[in-house]
Chains A and B, each alone.
Chain A
Amino acid sequence: AQSVAQPEDQVNVAEGNPLTVKCTYSVSGNPYLFWYVQYPNRGLQFLLKYITGDNLVKGSYGFEAEFNKSQTSFHLKKPSALVSDSALYFCAVRDAGAGNNRKLIWGLGTSLAVNP
């Protein structure tokens, strides 16, 4: 069965420090992996995705994520956190071999708090 785990409900980091939001996944085939961010009272916004190719993916707002097939992980990172990065972050996966099924499997989200 496909699944996504975000092991931390909340991550706290000081402004200017590097941040990591963790995500691990399970799919039967190759994964398509996504990160989304949700600000209060807003819809989810796409940050970045891994489809194929380079394991290090760069996205919006200075975020990047590294695909690690052996560890089935896709952790979100940023070298220097901003207070404005405080939000809810979601990881999602789709099985690349799942025919025409576009259904994403979502993690429960990680709340990131960046302290000034």
Chain B
Amino acid sequence: DAGVIQSPRHEVTEMGQEVTLRCKPISGHNSLFWYRQTMMRGLELLIYFNNNVPIDDSGMPEDRFSAKMPNASFSTLKIQPSEPRDSAVYFCASSSGQGFRGTEAFFGQGTRLTVV
């Protein structure tokens, strides 16, 4: 398995532009997580899905952020409009619950977003 695949790896955009980050989870995994990592705040959970349904989006910073999971093999995180303070590394992770909450998550390589 290729693992969790994120694209793009790097994104530089101008303030006000729309940014879309993409994630392909590991095949067969039914939970998907979006994280943001910054030096100031560390690792923050933005949202997670279980069986394509958003379960907890309490970490989404504001309405400019939205996430979708139209099917089991694809998810997007969109920021519109983007702001310089959104600059961070965004990670996607997936896990196979199979009814057992102790399973670990597998992370993608991350997307480094820079908003100028």
> Which A residues, 78 to 116, have Cβ-Cβ distances below 8 Å to chain B?
90, 94, 96, 98, 100-104, 106-109
Contacts of A51 on B, CB cut-off 8 Å?
Answer: 102
In the complex the two chains form, is B101's CB within 8 Å of A94's CB? yes
Chain A residues, CB < 8 A from B105: 46, 104
Contact of A44 with B by CB under 8 A: yes
Q: Does A34 contact B (CB under 8 A)?
A: yes
Cα(A34)–Cα(B4), bound, Å: 19
Instruction: Decide if A32 touches B91 in the complex (CB within 8 Å).
Output: no
The contact of B106 among A46, A104, A107, A108, by CB within 8 Å, is A46
Are the CB atoms of B43 and A90 closer together than 8 Å? yes
Q: Mark B66-93, 1 if CB is under 8 A from A, else 0.
A: 0000000000000000000000000101
Q: Is the interface of A mostly helix, strand, loop or mixed?
A: loop
Q: Could you tell me the distance between the alpha carbons of A42 and B56 in the complex, rounded to whole angstroms?
A: 25
- CB of B116 closer than 8 Å to a CB of A: no
Which residues of chain B are near A109, meaning CB under 8 Å?
42-43
Q: Place the interface of chain B in its size category.
A: 20 to 34
Please classify how large the interface on chain A is, using the bins under 10, 10 to 19, 20 to 34, 35 or more.
Answer: 20 to 34
Nearest A residue to B49 via CB reads A102
Tell whether, in the assembled complex, residue B107 and residue A44 are in contact, meaning their CB atoms are under 8 Å apart.
Answer: yes
Asked if B56 and A101 make an inter-chain contact with CB atoms under 8 angstroms apart, the answer reads yes
Quick one: given A43-B109, A46-B105, are A102 and B95 in contact (CB under 8 Å)?
Answer: yes
State whether B50 touches A100 (Cβ < 8 A).
yes
Report Cα–Cα, A28/B24, bound state, in Å. 34
The answer, yes or no, to whether A49 is at the interface (CB within 8 Å) is: yes
Is B34 an interface residue, CB under 8 A from the partner?
Answer: no
Contacts of B31 in A (CB 8 A): 102
Task: Give bound CA distance, A108 to B42, whole Å.
Answer: 5
Residues of B within 8 A of A (CB): 4, 31, 33, 42-43, 45, 48, 50, 55-56, 91, 93, 95, 97, 101-102, 104-110
Query: Hey, which bits of chain A sit against chain B, CB under 8 A?
Result: 32, 34, 36, 42-46, 49, 51, 90, 94, 96, 98, 100-104, 106-109
11 contacts between A and B (CB under 8 A): A43-B91, A43-B107, A43-B110, A44-B93, A46-B105, A51-B102, A90-B43, A94-B102, A102-B55, A102-B101, A106-B43
